[in-house]
Structure 1
């Protein structure tokens, strides 16, 4: 094998189309652009979403809904989860760092304790928000709720 005998693989290299080089080339005259019209002219570019003068989709479909940018998103933790964690770890104070350490929340999340399930252990729960049922369940079990 010599350097002068090297060739690319069969079918891997194609010749580019030479447009507008006479009728004998098969691509002369209109250079495959068809006859007349904006698309045949040099410098033509179509705006995104343009549908040839037909009312475009983004204007046909009505605007819908409303996004409240002041909304506060909470990460929900139910009482049954709090109960199982309290039993498993024998902790009496469950705060944000505790929930983060057990993979329930991320560092920028806000925590809300919800009332699904039962709690029968007296624990002190620190969270950003509580539902009414969660507060009553925790306090009837002898625990305490602290809003942070």
Structure 2
């Protein structure tokens, strides 16, 4: 078998409709576009969301909500991930550069350590923010917390 001998299965493909190729084709004349109007003409383009004069969905649905321009987004990182990283690297300090090198954060991220999971090894952690439960758990095993 060669690539040039491959053929689709019998009956699996159809010939495309050849529109505007004379009246004998059955699709000549108006070429399936109906009679007159903008949609029958070449170059026709409707506006996105236009519903033929009916009030469009985007205007029927009311506006709501508020986007706070001062919102600060933190990248969440839990204690179980910290424990996993500490055992993998066999490290006693985890700082922002360590998190970046191991794919837990990007250069412009702000990192917040959260309290899900369990921390068993003594780790000194530096991050931008800590939840109270995470801070308590880190200090309970003898580690330190440093805010950047």
Q: Same fold (TM over 0.5)?
A: yes
Residue 68 of structure 2 aligns with which residue? 68
Q: How does 1:36-115 map to 2 (within 5 A)?
A: 47-115=47-115
Number of residue pairs aligned between Structure 1 and Structure 2: 131
- Aligned-partner Cα distance in 2 for 1:46–1:84: 54
Residue 3 of structure 2 aligns with which residue? none
- Aligned-partner Cα distance in 1 for 2:78–2:33: 65
Any gaps of 5 or more consecutive residues in structure 2?
Answer: 1-17, 22-27
- Aligned-partner Cα distance in 2 for 1:101–1:33: 59
> Which portions of structure 1, spanning 4 or more consecutive aligned residues, are displaced by more than 6 angstroms?
32-41
Any gaps of 5 or more consecutive residues in structure 1?
Answer: 1-14, 19-26
Query: Offset at 1:128?
Result: 0.8
Structure possessing the higher radius of gyration over alpha carbons: 1
Q: TM-score normalised to the size of structure 1?
A: 0.66
RMSD in angstroms over aligned alpha carbons?
3.3
Q: 1:86 to 1:73 in 2, by over 3 A?
A: same
Q: How does 1:16-55 map to 2 (within 5 A)?
A: 47-55=47-55
Residue 142 of structure 1 aligns with which residue? 142
